[in-house]
Chain A
Amino acid sequence: MIMAERKPMAELEAMLEPFAKIALVGCKGCVTVCNAGGEKEVGILSSQLKLSRRQQEKPLEIVEVTLERQCDPEFIEMLDVHLDGCQAVMSMACGVGVQLCAEKLTAMPVFPSLNTTFMGLTEQPGEYAERCQGCGACKLHLTGGICPVTRCSKSLMNGPCGGSMKGVCEVRPDIPCGWQVIIDRLEELGQLDNYEKIMDVNNWSTSRDGGPRRIVREDLK
């Protein structure tokens, strides 16, 4: 799922400084699961902002709404009935949700309250790790189910590099060398012959290097 973290309070307060009434809009999708922008976090941030503004004697009225998802237009449309008198919207969704809100709500500014960080998994409650970069050309069948694009700090196709020391990446000691993990896994699977094959120079045009991507499915229209 998409992982995100709340922005520092000072940054949020600076965005909302000119306003007296806003809508704080959460999302019940990914950001609920990573405890960054769901119904609970909307309640917490709303209380914080209201308390802080009351302490500064500049009260802020907040309408709390949490949509099913913010990345689908039909849910954003449901927002309209909540926006009476609101001067701005602060979205607690990932960057996608913030952008769709901004696209649809043309009458007022939309602000992000999270820094969208990565696509990843929950290692344990409160601990999340990156696993996919959406490169658009999955190679997991060749690498024992471990992604060289994500798990190798350099996204090498034929690793490891000289910075791999005792299975640890030189970038940070808490990063296991992605290619060491791949080799260990291939060995377990008896698929080391996959490692012997030299992977071609990667075509990054399916990734971000090809510009903003788009999927069109005529059968679903």
Chain B
Amino acid sequence: MADFEPRIVAYCCNYCAFAAADLAGSMRLQYPTNVRIIRIPCSGRAEIKEILEAFWNGADGVLVVGCMEGDCHFIEGNFKAKRRVARARELVKEARIDPERLEFHNNAASMGPQLAQLFTEFTEKIRAIGPLNGDTNLEHVEVGA
């Protein structure tokens, strides 16, 4: 398991997390190359289907990162995203995937170091959980209603 390199997909809002990733780059901050960023116009744009597709196509963990509460460029997209990710975690659990592999976070454009830290911590968390393919130890996942 030690040589397992998780693949993380991060759906990042254009106005905050994506800019924060850019800032982290400008500040020469390192974050794991495991994280693949997908820029979306608003975190509210992240669809449940796309989150599930990410897992289907090989992601071991998925992040959705939006603006700080009250700062959404589209007023309430980040609140919608938060509710939608909560629902997606239930659906992911139904699909026998540990819901801990999916998280929603708020991160402002000025928070480059915090985003780098989030990416690092989430990568380590997924590394500890292990690869999705072959994660057949489902005792921790309750399937059903």
List A residues at the B interface (Cβ < 8 Å).
8-10, 13, 40, 43-44, 47-52, 54-57
Contact = CB atoms under 8 A, between A and B. Distances in A.
Contact of A55 (B49, B97, B144): B97
A9 B144 contact: yes
A47 B56 contact: yes
B97 A51 contact: yes
Contacts of A10: 143-145
A52 B91 contact: no
A52 B49 contact: no
9 contacts: A8-B144, A10-B143, A47-B95, A48-B52, A48-B95, A51-B52, A52-B95, A52-B96, A52-B143
Given A47-B52, A47-B53, 5 more contacts: A40-B47, A40-B49, A44-B91, A48-B91, A51-B96
A39 B95 CA distance: 19
B138 A47 contact: no
A10 B136 CA distance: 17
A54 B96 CA distance: 9
B49 A9 contact: no
Interface in B26-63: 47-49, 52-53, 55-56
Contacts of A52: 94-96, 143
Chain B interface size, under 10 / 10 to 19 / 20 to 34 / 35 or more: 10 to 19
Of listed B48, B49, B97, residue having the most chain A CB within 10 A: B49
Contacts of B133: 54
Nearest to B132: A55
Given A8-B145, A9-B94, A44-B91, A55 B136 contact: yes
Contact residues of B: prevailing secondary structure: loop
Contact of B52 (A9, A44, A55): A44
B41 to A, nearest CB: 18
B28 to A, nearest CB: 38
B135 interface: yes
A123 B52 CA distance: 29
Contacts of B144: 8-10
B140 to A, nearest CB: 12
A50 B145 CA distance: 18
B143 A9 contact: yes
Interface in B62-109: 91, 94-97
A76 B134 CA distance: 39
A84 B143 CA distance: 31
Given A55-B136, A55-B138, A57-B136, A47 B49 contact: yes
Contacts of B95: 9, 47-49, 51-52, 55
A50 B94 contact: no
Contacts of A40: 47, 49
Contacts of B96: 51-52, 55-56
Given A9-B144, A10-B143, A48 B94 contact: yes
A52 B93 CA distance: 9
B74 to A, nearest CB: 16
A44 to B, nearest CB: 5
B6 to A, nearest CB: 17
B32 to A, nearest CB: 24
Nearest to B96: A55
A144 to B, nearest CB: 36
Interface string B4-31: 0000000000000000000000000000
Contacts of A9: 94-95, 143-145
